[in-house]
Structure 1
Amino acid sequence: MEDAGEHYEEEFGELAVVFGDFHIPMRATDIPEQFKELILPNKIQYVLCTGNVGSRDTYDWIKSISNQCHIVKGDFDENTEYPEFKIVTIGSFKIAIIHGHQIVPWGDEEALYNQLRELDADILISGHTHDQIASKVDKKYILNPGTITGAYSPLKRNALPSFLLLEIKDKLINVYLYQLQNDEIKIKQTTITK
């Protein structure tokens, strides 16, 4: 008899939520309720986080979503156990995660692409700019979830709360870009192929 979980993964792939730049409690008070209602424990296989987590409660919430949780160190994180970068393989994709403060100039696509090549990955997930991005450079991809809380940054004072959801199949990823605009969730979608 076929396991219902196996059928689900074949049909929908594995899910990874991507977020970062919480800055709780320094620059934001909480994650928007609309996002908390969507991001439920045991529904998502992977959590990929670009750092700047902030409070212990926020860290505990992140860890409650999945036991496959990958967090890198942001420039404001005090937790010294977070690595500077992390490489995770999901499906046939090698995904590198960094915070992004290491990139000069911040958010520069060419500098991000050079980092991606240096880490020898298919996809680079970077935060720091608080600006949500999904772009293709050459045959590789650069993703930025933005800031899940809408925290301000020197680069973007009026950042919208945002995160990414990746639906990962063997050689294809559907990327869903979630943004909260005027208390309404807006979703854009793009596809990554190998």
Structure 2
Amino acid sequence: MLVAVVSDSHNNSEAVDLAKKAIAKCDALLFLGDGESDLEKLTEGFKGEVYAVCGNCDFKMMNPVERIVILNGKRIYMTHGNKYNVNFGFNSIYYRGREVDADIVLYGHTHIPMIKHEGDMIIMNPGSVSSGRGIKFQRSIGYLKVAENQPVEAFIEELK
């Protein structure tokens, strides 16, 4: 199962169009907030499962602040990240992941793409589809390859 991990679209229609093309090949979409109003356009015609959380710029809060999704036996914790001070490190979000027994912790907010392996847990920030702050990519999208009884493969690609 190929899962797209998208965050921080911030009502940028060009970014949403690019992300829409990138997720077309995926079986599921995990949206990490700051662009809830983009979800309808982003998922128009998308055949896979869609799970979303709200971010600090999503004033209507149409989705929960955090959620747990189980895909192919892997427990995935999703949140935007602002409530866990991710601008200053990922200790708080790491411990939240441990509290909820997550195999994978996903967050956005910083616009900086990152994958970290902490023991048996993967922590990923896919960056931002609208305006990245990472050195490598201006815009980025994350992916998870999730198969039962197999290690998860996490990777980030430039969105262009």
Which category describes the TM-score, using the shorter chain as reference length?
0.7 to 0.9
Q: Which has the higher contact order (CA 8 A, sep 6+)?
A: 2
CA distances 1:132-175 after superposition (whole Å, capped 9, x unpaired): 11111122110111101126xxxx49871001122211122222
Q: Distance in 2 between matches of 1:19 and 1:107?
A: 21
SS of 2:87's equivalent? Answer: coil
| One of 141, 154, 158 as aligned partner of 1:175 | 154
SS of 1:31's equivalent? Answer: helix
State the identity as a percent.
Answer: 24
Q: Distance in 2 between matches of 1:105 and 1:70?
A: 21
Unaligned stretches of 5+ residues in structure 1 = 1-13, 186-194
Q: Distance in 2 between matches of 1:176 and 1:141?
A: 11
State the match for 1:189 in structure 2: none
Q: Which amino acid aligns with 2:111?
A: H
Q: Distance in 2 between matches of 1:22 and 1:113?
A: 24
Residues 35 and 62 of structure 1: is their aligned pair in 2 closer, same or farther, counting only changes over 3 Å?
closer
Q: Distance in 2 between matches of 1:46 and 1:61?
A: 16
User: In the alignment, is residue 20 of structure 1 matched against residue 2 of structure 2?
Assistant: no
CA distances 1:68-114 after superposition (whole Å, capped 9, x unpaired): 11110100102332101010111121000000000125251222211
Give 1:35 deviation, angstroms.
4.4
- How many residue pairs match? The answer is 157
Unaligned stretches of 5+ residues in structure 2 = none
Q: Work out whether residues 86 and 93 of structure 2, in 8 Å CA contact, stay in contact via their aligned partners in 1.
A: no
Q: Which amino acid aligns with 1:23?
A: H
Residues 80 and 36 of structure 1: is their aligned pair in 2 closer, same or farther, counting only changes over 3 Å?
closer
Q: Distance in 2 between matches of 1:117 and 1:52?
A: 25
| One of 70, 73, 77 as aligned partner of 1:89 | 70
SS of 1:30's equivalent? Answer: helix
Q: Distance in 1 between matches of 2:18 and 2:48?
A: 23
After the TM superposition, which segments of 4 or more aligned residues of structure 1 sit over 6 Å from their partners?
none
RMSD, aligned α-carbons: 2.3
Q: Distance in 1 between matches of 2:60 and 2:43?
A: 14
TM-score normalized with structure 1 length = 0.72
Alignment of 1:96-135 (within 5 A): 96-104=77-85, 106=87, 108-135=89-116
| One of 12, 16, 22 as aligned partner of 1:38 | 22
Q: Rg: which structure is higher?
A: 1
| One of 48, 60, 63 as aligned partner of 2:43 | 63
